[in-house]
A and B are shown apart, each in its own frame.
Chain A
Amino acid sequence: AQTVTQSQPEMSVQEAETVTLSCTYDTSESDYYLFWYKQPPSRQMILVIRQEAYKQQNATENRFSVNFQKAAKSFSLKISDSQLGDAAMYFCAYRSVNNNDMRFGAGTRLTVKP
């Protein structure tokens, strides 16, 4: 079964600075999808960004971008110009194209300091 590992339980960043959250995964599949979700204190799970494994180009969504290294099975999230509203739990997730379910990492709690 696929596993997703987030090795940083907590991270902090100064407002307006850049922070990178790490994620690695284990799979034997060649085609799959990767996601980053944000969970603020409201507990709503919000999709931040997604990456298709067959695409080499890294996905970007405004201040959020990923560094996808397929061979290394690494999928990090970079948040630029951090804002107070970015403070949340961030979950990395893997979705198989074979069985369509999604596996989540344990999460990284991001604190943004004013």
Chain B
Amino acid sequence: DAGVIQSPRHEVTEMGQEVTLRCKPISGHDYLFWYRQTMMRGLELLIYFNNNVPIDDSGMPEDRFSAKMPNASFSTLKIQPSEPRDSAVYFCASSLTGRSGYTFGSGTRLTVV
């Protein structure tokens, strides 16, 4: 298995632009998570899905952020419009139900200038 695949690995964009981050979870995993990592706030859970359905989006910072999971093999995290304070590493992770740990993707480093 290729693991959790995220793209792009790096993204630099100008303030006000739309940014879309992509994730392909491990086949068969029924949970998908989006995290944001910054020096100031550490790893923050943004949203997670179970069987493609959003379960908890209370971590999404504001309406500029949205996430979708149209099928079991693909998810997106969109920021529109982007702001400099959105600069961070965004991780996608997937897992099976219950006791297993997460498998993380390699992350997307987003820089908004």
Contact = CB atoms under 8 A, between A and B. Distances in A.
Interface stretch (A40-48, A64-72, A77-85): A40-48
Interface stretch (B19-27, B60-68, B75-83, B89-97): B89-97
Interface residues of B, number: 23
A99 B102 contact: no
Interface string A5-33: 00000000000000000000000000001
**Chain B at the A interface: SS class:** strand
Contacts of A107: 42
B40 to A, nearest CB: 10
B45 interface: yes
B93 to A, nearest CB: 7
Contact of A43 (B93, B99, B107): B107
Q: How big is chain A's contact interface, by range? A: 20 to 34
Interface string B89-113: 1010101011101111011010000
B91 A45 contact: yes
A35 B102 CA distance: 10
Interface of B: 31, 33, 42-43, 45, 48, 50, 55-56, 89, 91, 93, 95, 97-99, 101-104, 106-107, 109
Interface of A: 33, 35, 37, 42-45, 47, 50, 52, 91, 93, 95, 97, 99-107
